[in-house]
Structure 1
């Protein structure tokens, strides 16, 4: 018989974590039992908007993690980092080259290897580790750690991220030699890793990444776009997954996008199964979800934590009737502990239970364990809306909401914000979907886009086809739509 426990048959684990010495609720703690999302309540306020848009700092930190390196300390101000890095590289170059025209050399290198904002041009994979954040707040570094642990941990050796410099021209080699040495990263132990909700997304990511890794120029040009999209893809699927409460198997739910140059009607928008309106609405309560998962993982089966909602449903399904009853009792204990520990400012726990029962009736849960997970989530969510902690939930959700809004939405007047793709991102993923083939059927492209979480309605498909025809990517074998092919541009 399986052992189903809460911290060795005691609720003391919950009490010591959540209650102070006066037995009052001290606050919510996430990431101790299960780490799901790289957010906290400090990502709000617009501080990280530029980093959310450029993603260069995130990529720089990611590649430093991959190479076990840390950032060089050139300045106390992140705003001065680019200019100081440029000055360091140019001074190093002047010292390595025997010339009487040092300033002329630096001017030439400056025009070739640095952009108008003094940023180092990405001409070799080694340069990626030198990109820095716009903000000096270290909170945003957690996104890089998240990307590493979800997508790249244990799958690649250092060699794939250390492009050979032998084939580079002499000036490229000079700049690479003049990059300041990055210090080794401090050894960190006993830190929990992020729990991957979607192994299927990781599998698709690795397939796409392997393709990009063999096309160096394409990779360097779009490395931020690629990681940024997969970050959004994973987060948006997490938002949708949470709302299922383990009641359905995990699968990708494509989001409907229009192109950013399109006009959009209300009728079309209503026919989009999943768009920004649904995502933004569900994202409001993700802090309640991560706290629900955290509390549920005080329950153990045979000494192992129960995992995410889907894991819990799978574990529950194979239990015998007595074990199932015990499992549900443990969840009831957690709900009771939570209610008993928190004093509401408005509303009441009686009202919470009444409203929860009404909501459950509309959801038609077929499995009691999903209903129990929902009940715990509803209790936590009700608490956030009826105590002084409501602001914490808003700030936590900002990490998803603002990132998504800045990168994948467009304001359309009375229709509000809608999810959009840029032409550049469309062409990047078209190349990725075609892969190493010379061409694929147009209908195959739509299917492959959906595999990556991207769906288009028929009007958007026509817009895309017009674009492809304009840039000569469409090949027609006949007038039949099934005989249309999309050609690779690589």
Structure 2
């Protein structure tokens, strides 16, 4: 077998009307960030639109649901009224309930199915892409488990039956696009939803926030680990430090260099990875889609060293003979027996020099806007700080400790929170202890006088 880039395939992939384009999402789907501003998600409903689509999909219903006059008319047509006044009162009631649901003010799990995507067509496209990333990453491989969990939480009431009249017909399934690199995150999310479901009211209140949290952590970790090329470690989360909103920040604290600043630095050139990974997929040997740098490293670890060298050599040949024809300022990068990792780094460095500033900045902003929308604390001269508010903190503590009656040793709480992508320095841990103590979620000491325990919030 020949192990090299297929130059003809690459040309077909990158070229449009004789010009080079930085295409992506052909062979590898990495992150759901748009490069066009109108498609950036504003999260006016938080993460409710995404979870609404998840529940409709699990229920075999149409992906998109929009509350409009046809929806209301359909509900009214199913009703029987004594007079026009009764019908008008009922109409006002349903309009109000649909409005509350549309704005993600939810009291029952089944109502989440009626939270629609945003009305704006461009932003809706961004929401749908975010849905696909979340669904493929956290839901798809465990669909039956989630169906069982959510069905156990449903309760029958008149309003549910009324609103369900408006649910659209069944829709055929859609093919997977994304893959989650962090299997332990997927397992942890399922376990946390199962834990929260033991208290349905708590789950309804916090499910969208939990899903958003896991989605954000998965995105940030994907960015950080992909930047490590073949050295990425998907078994262990990279340390990203948060603080608590009620704290004051200082430049010497861990969060300053390992929090928002870290993510901002890691994502600023990331669009080039999206293109490079898709470019590399146009080769003569790939056996599957969604290959990352580590997939190539693993593949060639079982091959003869000459096979890897052949592929590496073709990368440098493509840079010098093909890419340079589109960008005449390209510096020659001679092949000198480089490793696979070095070849990937050289390829990435070469192509990112010509990524246009505008689409790259919009791509970056799509990620940063999630951080600033949901995790931002203004640090004044320190800039934006990655922080947990009280609501987010208690949610993470709740799923870490577990169901009602459980207790968790305090020093194990930090381990559990880190499993969910949140790292805290010693000062933030002191703040968390104060908060839990004030809320009476902390058992002072064990009989031995040593350990402290966190009580179940559920």
- TM above 0.5, yes or no, is yes
Name the CA distance, whole Å, in 1 between partners of 2:171 and 2:223: 33
Using structure 2 for the length normalisation, give the TM-score. Answer: 0.86
Are the counterparts in 1 of residues 397 and 413 from structure 2 also a CA contact under 8 Å?
yes
TM-superposed CA distance for 1:46, in Å, is 8.8
Select the residue among 358, 369, 377 that pairs with 1:391.
358
* Mapped pair 1:485 → 2:456: no
Is the partner of 1:182 in helix, strand or coil? coil
Unaligned runs of 5+ residues in structure 1 are: 75-80, 358-366
Instruction: Measure the CA separation in 1 of the matches of 2:425 and 2:219.
Output: 22
Counterpart CA distance in 2 for 1:439 and 1:85 is 50
> Where does the alignment leave 5 or more consecutive residues of structure 2 unmatched?
none
Deviations 1:332-358 (A, max 9, x none): 2343355224226xxx323x869xx9x
Query: What secondary structure does 2:19 align onto?
Result: coil
Distance 2:62 2:43 in 1: 22
Of the candidates 156, 160, 181, which is equivalent to residue 148 of structure 2? 160
Matched residue of 1:28: which SS? coil
Quick one: distance in 1 between partners of 2:290 and 2:140?
Answer: 22
Structure 2 partner of 1:67: 59
- 1:36 aligned counterpart, secondary structure: coil
The answer as to 2:245 corresponding to 1:260 is: yes
Residue 209 of structure 1 is matched in structure 2 by 193
Structure-2 residue corresponding to 1:78: none
1: CA distance, partners of 2:402 / 2:102:
34
Distance 1:482 1:240 in 2: 38
Deviation, 1:432, is 0.4
1:34 offset after TM fit, Å? 1.1
CA distance in 2, matches of 1:481, 1:134: 54
Q: Residue 27 of structure 2 contacts residue 290 of structure 2 at CA under 8 Å; is this kept in 1?
A: no
- Aligned CA RMSD, in angstroms, stands at 3.3
In the alignment, which of 398, 421, 424 is matched to residue 431 of structure 1?
Answer: 398
Question: 1:71-150 to 2 correspondence within 5 Å?
Answer: 81=67, 91=76, 95-96=79-80, 101=86, 113=97, 119=103, 121-137=105-121, 138-140=124-126, 141-150=128-137
Measured in 2, the distance between the counterparts of 1:123 and 1:285 equals 42
* Aligned residue number for residue 475 of structure 1: 443
**Residues 332 and 430 of structure 1: CA distance in aligned 2, closer, same or farther (over 3 Å):** same
- Alignment partner, residue 294 of structure 1: 278
For residue 379 of structure 1, report the CA deviation from its aligned partner: 0.9
Q: Indicate whether 1:181 and 2:181 are aligned.
A: no
The C-alpha deviation readout for 1:401-443, integer Å capped at 9, x for no partner, is 2122211122211000010001001101111011236110011
1:455 equivalenced with 2:451 (yes/no): no
Pick one of 406, 414, 417 that aligns with 2:381: 414
Alignment of 1:214-233 (within 5 A): 214-233=198-217
What is the alpha-carbon distance in structure 2 between the residues aligned to residue 3 and residue 381 of structure 1? 28
Which secondary structure state, in structure 2, belongs to the residue aligned with residue 325 of structure 1? helix
Offset of residue 102 of structure 1: 5.0
Distance 1:441 1:406 in 2: 32
1:39 equivalent among 7, 19, 33: 33
Q: 1:300 to 1:407 in 2, by over 3 A?
A: farther
* Paired residue secondary structure (1:197): coil
3-state secondary structure, aligned to 2:117: coil
Q: Distance in 2 between matches of 1:176 and 1:16?
A: 52
Displacement of 1:32: 0.9
Q: What is the alpha-carbon distance in structure 2 between the residues aligned to residue 119 and residue 194 of structure 1? A: 28
Q: Which residue of 1 is the match for residue 345 of structure 2?
A: 374
Distance in 2 between the 1:25 and 1:71 partners?
36
How many pairs align? 449
Q: Are residues 162 and 488 of structure 1, via their aligned partners in 2, closer, same or farther at CA, if it must alter by over 3 Å? A: closer
Q: SS in structure 2 opposite 1:246?
A: helix
Contact preservation (8 Å) 1:299, 1:306: no
Q: Which moved more, 1:246-255 or 1:278-287?
A: 246-255
Q: What is the DSSP-based 3-state SS (H/G/I as helix, E as strand, rest coil) of the residue aligned with 2:229?
A: coil
Displacement, 1:252? 0.5
SS in 2 for 1:420: strand
Q: Which residue of 2 aligns with 1:240?
A: 224
Match of 2:307 among 323, 345, 352: 323
DSSP-derived class of the 1:266 partner: coil
1:18 aligns with 2:14: yes
**Does structure 1 residue 56 correspond to structure 2 residue 48?**
yes
C-alpha distance 46-266 of structure 1, shift in aligned 2 (>3 A): farther
Asked if 2 retains the 8 angstrom alpha-carbon contact of 1:60 and 1:128, the reply is yes
Alpha-carbon distance between aligned partners in 2 of 1:443 and 1:308, rounded to the nearest angstrom: 36
DSSP 3-state at the match of 2:142: coil
Q: Deviations over 1:11-36 (max 9, x none)?
A: 21112222246xx3341221111111
Q: In structure 2, what is the Cα distance between the partners aligned to 1:202 and 1:330? A: 36
SS at match of 1:333: helix
Cα gap change, 1:72/1:237 in structure 2, threshold over 3 Å: closer, same or farther?
Answer: closer
User: Which deviations, in whole Å up to 9, do the C-alpha atoms of 1:340-393 show, x marking residues without a partner?
Assistant: 24226xxx323x869xx9xxxxxxxxx922211111111111112xxxx22111
Q: In 1, Cα distance between the equivalents of 2:16 and 2:75?
A: 56
- Summarize deviations over 1:26-67 as a string: whole Å, max 9, x none: 41221111111112212x36963244x622222222222222
The alignment's TM-score, normalised by the length of structure 1, stands at 0.81
User: Secondary structure of the equivalent of 1:410?
Assistant: strand
